[in-house]
A and B are shown apart, each in its own frame.
Chain A
Amino acid sequence: MTGATGPGGGRAGREASAVDLAEAVRSGTRSAREVLEEHLEIVGVREPEIHAFNLVLADEARAEADAVDAAVAAGRDPGPLAGVPVALKDNLCTRGVPTTCSSRILEGWRPPYDATAVSRLRAAGAVVVGKTNLDEFAMGSSTENSAFGPTRNPHDPSRVPGGSSGGSAAAVAAGFAALALGSDTGGSIRQPAALCGVVGAKPTYGLVSRYGLVAFASSLDQIGPFARTVEDAAALMEVIAGHDPADSTSLAAPPPSLREALELGVEGLRLGVVTELMDGVEPEAAAAVQQAAAALEGLGAKVGEVSVPAAVYGLSAYYLIAPAEASSNLARYDGVRYGLRTDAADITAMFSETRAAGFGPEVKRRIMLGTYALSAGYYDAYYGQAQRVRTLIIRDFEEAYRGFDALLAPTTPGPAFELGAKTQDPLAMYMSDVCTIPSNLTGQPAMSVPWWPADQALPLGVQVMAPPLGEAVMFRVGAAVEAASPPAGGVEAASPPAGGVEAASQPAGGVEAASPPKAGGG
């Protein structure tokens, strides 16, 4: 019965990769329209249960796919992601298309411009299938804080997909899109990637333009890729990375060349397992990292343990810094220029009533926390102190990288939890990000690669961290973790009877593996 819950049943192993789809479309062996329709069929079957999307852009996507096909027919190259269906987290601005941040306060808003990452995707020939659900303004770890209802984990719909980019993670895991973009402020790409069994990466701060990403905490936010393979994630990174004059924190660094790094292997690389991030996680999360580390050692890497002492203060520092920045960033939602307005007698009452009506509980909580941490008498004790601790964390990671090329840790303390399990206890929910937060504070790149032993009902993630701008080594290690991960082979053989029943309900020509059997057999 292990196959019932193992990777064979859960992974979308039979689907073509995004890289393969683009190649097929560019060479004319498949049409972008046909690829899109296959994905839309899967959306039609499973989306009512999963709710990955706030908005499916079927007609717009068809027009984009037809334009890609027309380009191919005319002998032009539509770009490296030609005809690849992508899903966009709904905090990325899309010109003329509602961008809600899953908040009522942005009701009706249609941005007058595309985010830079979105423009780059379009220029690369990708086809946007829809805008995905998130925790309101990206504040949360389960996608339950959405004004439009939660997203469910495609591997077990009684469980959360993680968050805040839960819709993007679920869309890729369910086969609604081959790729997706998310944003990661404290783990909001990596944590849902781990919980949904897909690859997710947070680039070095500044490598991907934040222009058009609705701001949560500006010194921590980064846009990054979701994909089913490390190579696909690298291909998407290559498209979205690069300097942008519209973002004053955009790095001048040239866009990294990642896909060639995937071939290099890990022989001779020094990899450190971070002791502090192994403490306190569930046994299976620690075991996943140990198994991955052993496998990498077998491939020639030199693996050791490394202490990053200040990492233990990451969570506390983050939950002062991020709310402080959020309270400032979210001051703009005042009912004047866009979105919701609640009428009131004077402007101050209009501000307060609009914000009370438009923001959900978690957003209010963080605005309150941040405003408190920044208020007179507490600024230095909380916000200033958290910023100094941030310096300590950066120093300790710098020290660790003197002895190691990349670091390993669990992505999350455990697998996906049941819906509702943590909604009443904000601190318990915040703990979901304990392993991912340090990389946002330091600005270093970090990625989650699925690790799903056959005896586990749900996927986990192995996290790979590298020094700032160390994307190439990070993807190298990520590719090796992927290659060493418990066998994805025997996908069909591992499909359990229950999976067969579900697969049979898929439309002919649909991608059966996109409908993974419910873990635990239902």
Chain B
Amino acid sequence: MSSRISREDVAHVAHLARLALSDAEIDLFAGQLAAVLEHAEDVAALDTSGVAPTAHPLPVRNVLRPDEPGSCLDREEVLAQAPQAEDGRFRVPRILGEEP
């Protein structure tokens, strides 16, 4: 297993991604991510100086429309899909650091 990705790296990335991983998952992903990134070394090693990155396969341009009211999804129908809703809004647990 490559030592390139430590358990600490994996735990940090898991935190960024908001994924609560078990110790076993952290060990597993440390090895597997290293293997995939090792395979990507051929790409990382290529000389691409002067090559522009492609974010989108075909030319696209900004899409504008007249600023006129249109139809949208029904609020009640959308809120009915939420785990919790209250007073026409999504309800969530307390935000970190706030007093309950």
Using CB atoms and an 8 Å cutoff, list the residues of chain A in contact with chain B: 109-110, 112-113, 204-206, 219-220, 245, 248-249, 251, 312-313, 315-317, 319-320, 327, 331, 334-341, 343-353, 355-356, 359, 361, 364-365, 367-369, 371-372, 375, 381-382, 384-392, 394, 426-427, 430, 440-443, 468
**B interface, CB within 8 angstroms of A:** 5, 9-10, 13-21, 25, 29, 32-33, 35-37, 39-40, 42-44, 46, 48, 51-58, 60, 63, 65, 73-74, 77-78, 81-84, 90, 92-96
Q: Which of A112, A205, A206, A389 contacts B43 (CB 8 A)?
A: A389
| A427/B65 in contact, CB under 8 A | no
Given contacts A206-B58, A350-B92, A375-B13, contact A389 B81 (CB under 8 A): no
Q: Which of these, A245, A347, A369, A392, contacts B96 with CB under 8 Å? A: A347
In the assembled complex, 17 residue pairs joining A and B whose CB atoms fall closer than 8 Å, in A order, are A109-B81, A220-B57, A312-B42, A313-B46, A319-B36, A319-B40, A327-B17, A346-B96, A352-B18, A356-B20, A361-B25, A365-B32, A368-B17, A369-B36, A372-B9, A372-B13, A390-B54
A353-B20, A375-B16, A388-B53 given as contacts; is B83 within 8 A of A336 (CB)?
A: yes
Give the chain B neighbours of A381 by CB distance below 8 A: 44
CA distance A336 to B74 in the complex (A): 17
Q: Within the complex, what minimum Cβ distance (angstroms) separates B55 from chain A?
A: 6
B16: which A residues are within 8 A, CB to CB?
Answer: 371, 375
A248 contacts B63, C-beta separation under 8 Å: yes
Chain A residues near B65 (CB-CB < 8 A): 245
Task: Please give, as numbers and ranges, the residues of chain A lying within 8 Å of B44 by CB-CB distance.
Answer: 381-382, 385
Q: Is the CB of A110 within 8 A of B81?
A: yes
- A312: B residues at CB distance < 8 A: 42
CB distance from B28 to the nearest CB of A (A): 8
Whether A355 contacts B18 by the Cβ 8 Å rule is yes
Give chain B residues whose Cβ lies under 8 Å from the Cβ of A368.
Answer: 10, 13-14, 17, 19, 29, 33
Chain A positions within 8 Å of B90 at CB level: 336-337
Instruction: Give min CB distance, A315 to chain B, whole Å.
Output: 8
Q: How far is the CA of A245 from the CA of B70 in the complex (A)?
A: 12
Which residue of A has the minimal Cβ distance to B49? A388
Min Cβ gap B30→A in Å is 10
**Chain A residues whose CB sits within 8 angstroms of the CB of B60 once the complex forms:** 206, 248-249
**Interface-central residue, A355, A359, A442, by most chain B CB under 10 Å:** A355
Q: How distant is B51 from chain A, measured CB to nearest CB, in Å?
A: 4
* Bound Cα distance from A109 to B78, whole angstroms: 10
Contacts of B83 in A (CB 8 A): 335-336, 338-341
A-side contacts of B13, CB under 8 Å: 368, 371-372, 375
